[in-house]
Amino acid sequence: MNKSVESAANAANAAANAATAAERIEARAERVKQATSDAVDHTKEAVDRAADRVEAGLHQATDKAAQGATRAAEKAEEVKLRGQEVYGDAVDKANDWLDTAREYVREKPVQSLAIAVAAGWLAGRIFRN
């Protein structure tokens, strides 16, 4: 009977060891599960932060592009206005010269005709060669 008590004690001991081992395995599994969950949470937070930074960068880039387009439009308008001003000045100056020439021709028609003939002859000589 001693052997059966000993066998029973060994079996009980083995069962206790198995239960302890199972508890340790379960505890380790729980720690691994928790570590995995923490890693997933940290990764999600990192991805969220990166997405926020990308979104902020896109907003900044969009704002800068809009500002650049606005400045370009303003500069184009300035150039247009300046071009119109220069054109207007050139037209005014040409009209002044034309008025001066008309006045000269009215005051001195013979000299004007002589100047025109000389200018025509000179232009013919220049362009003939």
Tens-place pLDDT, residues 77-116: 999 999 999 999 999 999 999 999 999 999 999 999 999 9
Tokens of 111: 């000299």
Identify the DSSP state of 109: H
Report the C-alpha dihedral over residues 122, 123, 127, 129, rounded to 10 degrees. 0
The DSSP 8-state label assigned to residue 108 in this structure reads -
Confidence of residue 8 (pLDDT cuts 50, 70, 90): confident
CB-based contact 115:123 (threshold 8 Å): no
Among candidates 53, 49, 72, which has minimal Cα distance to 61?
53
**pLDDT 10s digits, 31-71:** 888 989 888 889 999 898 999 999 999 999 999 999 999 99
Q: Looking only at Cα atoms, what is the longest distance across the chain?
A: 159
* Contact call for residues 33 and 41 (beta carbons, < 8 A): no
